[in-house]
Amino acid sequence: MNILVTGGAGYIGSHTCVELLLEGHQIVVIDNLSNSKETSLQRVQEITGKPLTFYKADLLNEPAIQAVFEREKIDAVIHFAGLKAVGESVDRPLSYYHNNVTGTLVLCDVMKRFGVRNLVFSSSATVYGAAEQMPIREDFPLSALNPYGRSKLMIEDILRDLHQAEPAWNIAILRYFNPVGAHISGRIGEDPNGIPNNLLPYVAQVAVGRQPFVRVWGNDYPTPDGTGIRDYIHVTDLAIGHLRALDKLSQNSGLVTYNLGTGQGTSVLEVIAAFSRACGRQLPFKIMQRRPGDAAVSYADPSKANRELNWFTSRGIDEMCADTWRWQSANPNGYD
């Protein structure tokens, strides 16, 4: 198939591009490079030995997006493009709503104009808000605690309404838990702007000397070691989930929703210990006050994706940390 990947130069997008090319798809990437580097796409082509087509464009620029559809034959779209920092979304809500929601509306308008109705959407476990039961299933109540999460939930609602009005659309909503790791080659990985918001890239920067110590936000949660527990999923396993979702859409599936996670929780201290093993030295950390809004435990029930997509994760926390360290140690300043 000819697949358009929005945000394809980003962390998850670039890893998905690798898997798409290796499976024999042709891909076209749109990215405005606001939180990514074109170098990642050059390395995707090095890893796979296969070419891709890249357009530097913003989804808010409808004429530019239409021009891509006019030039390229597109069979399906995987939609990653969006702002994604929770803390920043609290400070800049209008930017998040405008970029994420309006950008998706522009994309869907152009897709409709060109008769492209297969869409895989990059959502998030943040749409579950503060879930009261574990593991989290797709039929749990939906809510969001910040503008980033609300923008994802708004887009989900838009896509549900779109499919109800026009059943010819095939849409897969994929709710990610905590993507970590890097490609096994060490050539592509996570390269966040500024100080990382998420645990693994922060730990990696401590290991490489860019940060002095890991900040552990609270050690008095009702968990075995007192620190928060999350469902970490290797980015390559996550990328493969998108390919299986595309397979599902090719069967005229309608609208489907899946959790992509391992179904297992790992605590903050367990992550630090695993990364210490990966880099060969004990990493320093300091216990800080809890952050407001952080849940004690969050992990997925991925059984629906296991069953309906024949998709399973195969990489554990030690492999996630080893692959992250391989990437970070070879690229201490990211792609720069």
Q: Is 176 a catalytic residue?
A: no
Give alpha helix (H) positions in the chain: 11-22, 39-48, 62-71, 86-91, 93-96, 103-113, 147-165, 199-207, 235-249, 268-279, 303-309, 317-330
Helix axes of 103-113 and 62-71: crossing angle, nearest 10 degrees: 40
Q: Tokens standing for 113? A: 């104009």
Which one of the listed residues 11, 148, 221, 258 is annotated catalytic?
148
Q: Tokens standing for 187? A: 């050539």
Give alpha helix (H) positions in 166-250: 199-207, 235-249
Q: Give the phi and the psi of residue 114 in degrees, each rounded to 5.
A: -105, 10
Among 171, 125, 126, residue whose Cα is nearest residue 263: 125
Distance CA 124, CA 173 (A): 9
DSSP result, 21-89: HHTT-EEEEEE--SS--THHHHHHHHHHT---EEEE--TT-HHHHHHHHHHS--SEEEE--S---HHHH
Question: In DSSP terms, which residues pair with 333 in a beta bridge?
Answer: none
Q: What angle do CA 330, 333, 334 make, to 5 degrees?
A: 75
Q: Give the phi and the psi of residue 176 in degrees, each rounded to 5.
A: -80, 150
**What CA–CA distances, in Å, run from 38 to 33, 35, 305?**
7, 10, 32
b/e map 250-288, b = 16+ CB within 10 Å: eeeeebbbbbbbbbbbbbbbbbbbbbbebbeeebebeee
Looking only at the bridges linking them, the beta strands covering 118-124 and 26-31 are: unpaired
Active site residues: 148
